[in-house]
Structure 1
């Protein structure tokens, strides 16, 4: 934990250990267990700019006390609406991303209701979610779209994904790949937990005034990197003064401008949701796809038909890492300047191949190269792909360097690596 103003790092580290222990004891989760879409999903999260109304007059509180308040929050029941806005500054791919995702699910025997593919939509744009939780065994997240809805429901041992647009259903169990690997951030609390468990002596943390979010009084906790070279500018977390629940999460980049991630409740209630909220039965005629215990997608059938599902092979979805080292990555640097290093196994730089989203032959290497920035150094040559938060360097010898750092930091890491 980071030292902030009058608190020392040892005290914060102790609070962090206590917070983690408390989290293990508490089962409350505000996100349906789902297959996370990768490192970026864990980093970027969800939710748009929400106007704060007023600065409530609240008792003074230190950063240490506010962190403890978050850690000790025992809220297990809630429901509400979360708005999500993500602006990574990604280029317009002209529908290529949707085409590739569609091909991946259809060609691999998958389902449009599989959360692995569906949650990639949250990486860009503005979205509205309805969330509900009733303890450790019941959670629901619904992504509201124009004329359609996608829902993830965890009820006991069952996890259901339902896409009303395609009338497809994905079903697995909470134990299929380990619950921790199936969690995806979907509320300000999820983002706050990820940030607060990661900060260290490279971070400044302080209380910076009050706010009102979704009609509730809140303290504003501000987290800032002390290091240069990171793409993270500051993180602001609005914490409910009564319950200690994070109500809003905003991450602004060091480059300035609009927030990369702005996630917050527009409405929230801490009353017990109706039990029927978590009930789900596949609609008649819906295509139901089963997930096996390895986290792979199995065959599918039509709900109500007599045919049995067949098994299809596939690659298990990897959960977003809680810590890069634990996931088998080599890590260079410290704190906000940490860079994950992996070997893609592809020599010669960017992959090449024929075929494109339009079905015409094309040079994939040339297309990807047009989106990146060629660089060179002691390591040789490579291409840097940049967003407003996460940047990656792919070298011609197959190494990949990725982190919330600028291009210069990636090149330096490759030279030293």
Structure 2
């Protein structure tokens, strides 16, 4: 279906409205923030169902953005499928072993702590069941082989339960301003993810409505956000927006290099009826090991790295040139080509050559095999690549990270020297 029209000239002003109120400003590159949120939190967003294009009234990109901003769905339940493919090397289960060793038996943590469980969404394909009844009652269940992990919020109580290990994690939300801050810092719906993506909307961004689709049996518009600049690893972000409620049902981030989506997640079934009150009740099973996380929230999930509120010194949105955050982090460039820069304390990447020997030399050689050696006016270093995020670690310990190509990263490092 042909595009419904482009509103690039009016989108920049609309993005200012989306940043108002409770939405925080992005400190790093927005594409980086988007994929981090989608991978490490409750990424409530399936592939667009290929079941025919519904015939819907025409709508402009600006009107659809306004519809998203006004959406206020408080009650829902459904099933979500999320697939993440960053193109990372296969370490033969090393990541899982390290995670379980850090948080499971024999450690001080709990396998039911959401800060150690939800990062599993960073790779592979997962099925989740989700339910919500306002900001005080929420549930997410991660379905695994012969096991299930569930995360509950019911009033002030936050519970995590891992059926495989029979471990329980409990934390108490301190309420009030702290609870509101956590809702801002930890996006938990497709609407949140879409608002983060729309912070990229400026004169370096194209935003159009490109036809319609059906997701989970519901009619939806297709909102397409893509960089106008060359050099970004982001091809486009496609959001399926529910035609009736304005709630995003699906979020897909496709790399500029082509192939499968980096993040492809969304509802396969959804209902906007109020879930049964018992859905959010939880009582620790008999014999379960219970770990108390204290007040303030669940296991370190009270904030998302790479974000800052207005007024705290973080750069607001994209394209702030050589902006500097309160933690000393710099941002080079503008728009989708922004690159975050920080100092690693003079420590470059260990090398497998030279005087290194034994385990240190072997480890350095392993890292060498994962990266590409580069040089420029900044000196020399190693670029580590994924299908979306690339990082340059210089030999003098500077780190440059962005959703940009290797050449763009090397160029940014030279300009920032």
- TM-score greater than 0.5 by the shorter chain: yes
Alpha-carbon distance in structure 1 between the residues aligned to 2:35 and 2:6: 34
Q: Does structure 2 conserve the Cα–Cα contact (< 8 Å) formed by 1:381 and 1:396?
A: yes
The 5 A counterparts of 1:106-121 are 106=104, 109-121=108-120
Structure 1 residue runs without a partner (length 5+): 25-37, 298-314, 353-359
Partner of 2:333: 333
Q: Does structure 2 conserve the Cα–Cα contact (< 8 Å) formed by 1:82 and 1:187?
A: no
Aligned pair in 2 of structure 1 residues 240, 167: CA closer, same or farther (>3 Å)?
same
Cα RMSD between the aligned structures?
2.9
The 5 A counterparts of 1:5-404 are 7=7, 9=9, 11-21=10-20, 41-42=36-37, 44=39, 46=43, 48-106=46-104, 109-175=108-174, 180-181=181-182, 184-185=186-187, 187-293=189-295, 319-322=304-307, 325=315, 328=327, 329-350=329-350, 363-404=362-403
TM norm structure 2 = 0.82
Q: How far 1:194 moved relative to its partner?
A: 1.2
Alpha-carbon distance in structure 2 between the residues aligned to 1:372 and 1:317: 33
Alpha-carbon distance in structure 2 between the residues aligned to 1:191 and 1:295: 21
Aligned pair in 2 of structure 1 residues 132, 293: CA closer, same or farther (>3 Å)?
same
Alpha-carbon distance in structure 2 between the residues aligned to 1:318 and 1:363: 36
Secondary structure of 1:236's match? strand
Higher relative contact order (CA 8 A, sep 6+): 2
Alpha-carbon distance in structure 2 between the residues aligned to 1:343 and 1:316: 25
Structure 2 residue runs without a partner (length 5+): 24-32, 309-313, 316-324, 353-358
Alpha-carbon distance in structure 2 between the residues aligned to 1:338 and 1:379: 18
Greater shift in the superposed pair: 11-20 or 340-349: 11-20
Q: Does structure 2 conserve the Cα–Cα contact (< 8 Å) formed by 1:77 and 1:270?
A: yes
Q: How far 1:366 moved relative to its partner?
A: 2.8
Secondary structure of 1:112's match? coil
Aligned pair in 2 of structure 1 residues 260, 40: CA closer, same or farther (>3 Å)?
closer
Alpha-carbon distance in structure 1 between the residues aligned to 2:34 and 2:249: 24
Q: How far 1:318 moved relative to its partner?
A: 5.5
TM norm structure 1 = 0.82
Q: How far 1:117 moved relative to its partner?
A: 1.5
Q: How far 1:13 moved relative to its partner?
A: 3.9
Q: How far 1:162 moved relative to its partner?
A: 1.0
Q: Map Cα deviations across residues 48-105 of structure 1 (whole Å, 9 max, x no partner).
A: 5353311111111111100000000121111111111111111101111112212222
Partner of 1:302: none
